[in-house]
A and B are shown apart, each in its own frame.
Chain A
Amino acid sequence: MIAIIDYGMGNLKSIHNALTTVAGNPVIIPESRDLAGADAIVIPGVGAFGDAMRNLSPFADALFDLVDSGMPVLGICIGMQVLLDRSEESDAAGFGLIRGDVVRLPDGVRIPQMGWNELTIRRDSDLLAGIEDGDFFYFVHSYYCVPEDGQTVVATTDYGVDMAAVVEQDNIHAVQFHPEKSSKKGLVILKNFVEMIKC
């Protein structure tokens, strides 16, 4: 079972439908105690950083334990950003599971970045099996992640700045775009994530 953390902001139908399509057996989890039976965790991407951290705080202890236990975690969009230390968007602290900052998109580009942008793959990753350089994914965001350790950056995208689009550190996987809104290529990534449980 893949637990989709429901932190009460926006609908989770798209990610639920997409994981169902790739046989991920998703369950929407509104309470941290329901994480017990999970094989993997998805932190979906809805809302602003401060609200997200406030609403996610009841899940923090369980999340830290499960990450330590090696359970695969996938953060999407704001669900990626909350994994870092802090964001320019809010005074709230992030989870700090990945060292680094979340900063605002640079001047000179339309904000938010909204639409399909290309990946440049920086290193091999099981999450990106079947994905090629130049494949497009759907992004909607005003801030982006700058991990301290550049080695965690698996793929980047260019929007006024070359920024992290996919970050991985051990069992933590994070994508700035929305795989559940990125048509077939997005489903490939979700399928790859589902495969990680079976290993």
Chain B
Amino acid sequence: MLAKRIIPCLDCDLGVPRGRVVKGVKFKQIRYAGVPWELAEEYDRQGADELIFLDITASHERRETMAKVIEKTSENVFMPLTVGGGIKSLSDARTAFNAGADKVAINTAALKNPGLIREIAEYFGTQACVVAIDAKRRYGREPGRVVVDTPDGECWFECSFYGGREFTGIDAIQWAIEVEERGAGDIMLTSMDRDGTKEGFDIELTAAVSDSVNIPVIASGGCGSPEHILEVLKETNASAALAASIFHFGEYTVSDVKEYLRKGGVHVRLQARS
């Protein structure tokens, strides 16, 4: 049976020569590893199922730095690697793939130029294009929107881009259906209401999107504990959960989380300790 995936997200500041993972990293009993590929190796040892490298810088050199980060990582880490942040074109995607990425995640570029999804899928395969959707709740009913019932009232979900700084007026659920038709392989769905709060995933959002598409949905935004991951994987049809801070701050290892999920009845990949 296919396992639910646990995906640590590495927010990379590429403004320094070797890049560094921001948010600080303090593993229990493990030396500080601020360099992205060292952290990637540590997550591999812990049993992460995939890794996402997110470029959170805005410098001009970042594409080259990210390429180097992926190149170094792919020498020793043999699991799917996704690169996101600042990918605007097929050429940007190609730089990432040539460095050893398996998938690229696009958000702003997909909303501005939806044809890019198909281009990436045709060049690198349908599994290669992850569309990231950053969705925010808009309470109340509006014509032409997919309205979802939540404990806080009816709402629809609006897509944002430019890292959450601007809104598009596009319905996130309708957009999810469209990106599947256009050839996306995964949807990385981030709740803007929950991101950074550590209050748990947006269950209604995740359920609504994962029930509307047939491609895998990665739940993101709001993870503060293993209980939150259990909740989103049990109560929705999400295929994967993404988390950053609970792993980076060393509160939990990936294997701690997976052991907890297994006890809670979620099918996960546990590897024998070696």
Contacts and interface: CB of A to CB of B under 8 A. Distances in A.
Given A115-B3, A136-B3, A11 B100 contact: yes
A115 B239 contact: yes
Interface in B111-128: 123-128
Nearest to B267: A118
A9 B126 CA distance: 13
A159 B239 CA distance: 14
Contacts, number: 94
Contact of A118 (B1, B127, B185): B1
Interface stretch (B53-61, B71-79, B140-148): B71-79
A14 B100 contact: yes
B97 A11 contact: yes
B79 A17 contact: no
Q: Chain A: interface secondary structure?
A: mixed
Nearest to A46: B125
B274 interface: yes
A138 interface: yes
Given A17-B100, A138-B80, A117 B1 contact: yes
Contacts of A181: 78-80, 102
A17 B74 contact: yes
Interface in B78-104: 78-80, 97-100, 102
Contact of B102 (A14, A185, A187): A14
B2 interface: yes
B100 A183 contact: no
A115 B216 contact: yes
B186 interface: yes
Given A11-B100, A117-B1, A183 B79 contact: yes
A13 B73 CA distance: 11
A112 B124 contact: no
B49 A115 contact: yes
Contacts of B214: 110-111
Contacts of A116: 2-3, 5, 49, 269
A110 B124 contact: no
Given A113-B2, A116-B2, A183-B78, A48 B271 contact: no
Given A110-B239, A113-B2, A115-B216, A10 B124 contact: yes
Interface string B232-261: 000000011000000000000000000000
Contacts of A112: 126-127, 185, 215
Interface in A4-48: 9-11, 13-14, 17-18, 21, 46-48
6 contacts: A13-B71, A17-B100, A46-B125, A114-B127, A136-B3, A159-B2
- For the complex of A and B, list the 10 residue pairs with the smallest distance between their C-beta atoms, beginning with the closest: A136-B269, A13-B100, A140-B127, A116-B269, A116-B3, A117-B2, A11-B97, A115-B5, A115-B2, A114-B216
Interface of A: 9-11, 13-14, 17-18, 21, 46-48, 110-118, 136, 138-140, 142, 158-159, 180-187
